[in-house]
Structure 1
């Protein structure tokens, strides 16, 4: 998607839109690029940051980018004057960004060990965090919103912290915290089961499946030689894909297939078979 000459010496962070048609790329030039996935064509460059862009997250037409300067910029990708807001709540690099499923809140994690929760629209006093969580003792890159409770946020800390926290962002309460015994690089909730999975770096480079809300360990998946950088869930909610720092991709069957998805798939398969039979006849 990005040609080699442009990628040389550039720190790239990618984020796909929910529709899957567009790809946002943050670089250390610094700029945010928008690409058309199907046409493999760069649509525009958005230059508003003063330092490298290491985190991205989209909420419909609003693209949020986090910078090494500690600032978060909101970009309205539909208009020429794309930079519509600046959020200043971190004193060091913004390591992670995640919009809630309902689009009401944006969570940001920083190298300053802070987690901020921002409203989707400016308050009368301006852009200020609704909540700031200070309990982590390491950089916060891992952020994930619960898919069935929009006010529940999971966060994970870096090597000097190693903890996963579960927050109620409305009340500001920490509902649970667990020592994962490894750097927490990524978190992903199951879409069909009350469980979540975390990807880790130093010292064990493992995956761990946790039961929500007790945070009891369900399973530990080992065998990786470097830190787990990112996780993605398959559409059926059963398989987790991960990218590791050893430049490998792995697929893990972590969860049972959702019965509703299985029924839909069997129904679609039956319809397809029926059409093929009719065509043969």
Structure 2
């Protein structure tokens, strides 16, 4: 057991590793966020006062931990200082379901239960005093259900993929430099997560109990990977981009060679944890 969160703080709503691979942030239903040292299982500090309800989304940008709450607010927290709240983004009217910083750290994408995708610009967020009026760079309204799956392209800095829930079922592609939708694919089921291949122009999505690998930009299916026996809820990528971990409602975490070299057995499900 790496760490244990007291039941008094409520169920865990979100988890996200810091870029250093040592520290981990845990968002709670109580509206607090805990920071832990994973090497020794020690609670370092608890961040409070950002949200009124549960914290369901987390994203790191160097020393900034961005939190998204059920109250619709998105908060930048500098974990190095005591007064950690440095900026609040206000746009979503419902639960913030997804957060993802671009690789450059200049733009933040957020998806919400209000079916909206916002693009926030870091210089605007850091302005002192904050700029008046709408703070977002772009607001995309094309999805018709909640948006929790977000992924920035590793080969084109202004390319964002987003995936919609059950009543939407689409993967959409956005150019965040000009604020335009580049295309949309109906996948036929809820899109729970998205990951780009760091080595090839490919995109991995999770639906129901399977993962689907697509060729970009044609969006031709390369493979359908099935091993889970219930909904795949989350996916994550190893630092080298080769291995993908998937977690599902069947209470297993499975590891895949989906982005690995051909001689490692492509698409192999090589291990799992229950």
Answer whether TM exceeds 0.5 for this pair: yes
More helix by share: 1
SS in 2 for 1:121: helix
Which whole-Å CA distance do the structure 1 matches of 2:133 and 2:75 have between them? Answer: 14
The TM-score, its normalising length taken from structure 2, stands at 0.89
Which whole-Å CA distance do the structure 1 matches of 2:38 and 2:5 have between them? Answer: 17
CA shift for structure 1 position 238: 2.7
For 2:213, which of 209, 212, 222 is the aligned residue? 209
Deviations 1:210-258 (A, max 9, x none): 1111111111112322211111223443321111121111122213429
Residue 242, structure 1, aligned to residue 246, structure 2: yes
SS in 2 for 1:237: coil
Does the 8 A contact of 2:37 with 2:44 survive in 1?
yes
CA shift for structure 1 position 126: 6.2
SS in 1 for 2:132: coil
CA shift for structure 1 position 160: 0.5
- Where in structure 2 are the equivalents of 1:89-100 lying within 5 Å? 89-100=91-102
Does the 8 A contact of 2:3 with 2:42 survive in 1?
no
- Where in structure 2 are the equivalents of 1:82-93 lying within 5 Å? 82-93=84-95
Which whole-Å CA distance do the structure 1 matches of 2:117 and 2:259 have between them? Answer: 29
Which whole-Å CA distance do the structure 1 matches of 2:133 and 2:157 have between them? Answer: 23
SS in 1 for 2:174: strand
Larger Rg: 1
Which whole-Å CA distance do the structure 2 matches of 1:235 and 1:85 have between them? Answer: 29
Tell me which stretches of 4 or more aligned residues in structure 1 moved more than 4 Å: none
Does the 8 A contact of 1:238 with 1:258 survive in 2?
no
Does the 8 A contact of 1:176 with 1:213 survive in 2?
no
- Does the C-alpha gap of structure 1 residues 258 and 168 become closer, same or farther in structure 2, counting only changes over 3 Å? farther
What corresponds to 2:119 in structure 1?
A: 117
- Does the C-alpha gap of structure 1 residues 65 and 42 become closer, same or farther in structure 2, counting only changes over 3 Å? same
Deviations 1:78-126 (A, max 9, x none): 1000011111110100000000000000000000000000011225336
Which whole-Å CA distance do the structure 1 matches of 2:79 and 2:59 have between them? Answer: 13
What corresponds to 1:53 in structure 2?
A: 55
Residue 11, structure 1, aligned to residue 9, structure 2: no
Q: How many residues align?
A: 256
Which whole-Å CA distance do the structure 1 matches of 2:22 and 2:134 have between them? Answer: 30
Gaps of 5+ in 1: 260-281
What corresponds to 1:149 in structure 2?
A: 156
Deviations 1:172-193 (A, max 9, x none): 1111110111100000000101
For 2:168, which of 158, 161, 173 is the aligned residue? 161
Deviations 1:44-96 (A, max 9, x none): 11112111000000100111000001011110111000011111110100000
Gaps of 5+ in 2: 264-274
Residue 171, structure 1, aligned to residue 171, structure 2: no
Does the 8 A contact of 2:13 with 2:54 survive in 1?
no
The TM-score, its normalising length taken from structure 1, stands at 0.86
After superposition, the CA RMSD in angstroms is 1.8
Q: Which moved more, 1:3-12 or 1:191-200?
A: 3-12
- Does the C-alpha gap of structure 1 residues 40 and 256 become closer, same or farther in structure 2, counting only changes over 3 Å? closer
What corresponds to 1:2 in structure 2?
A: 3
Which whole-Å CA distance do the structure 2 matches of 1:72 and 1:57 have between them? Answer: 10
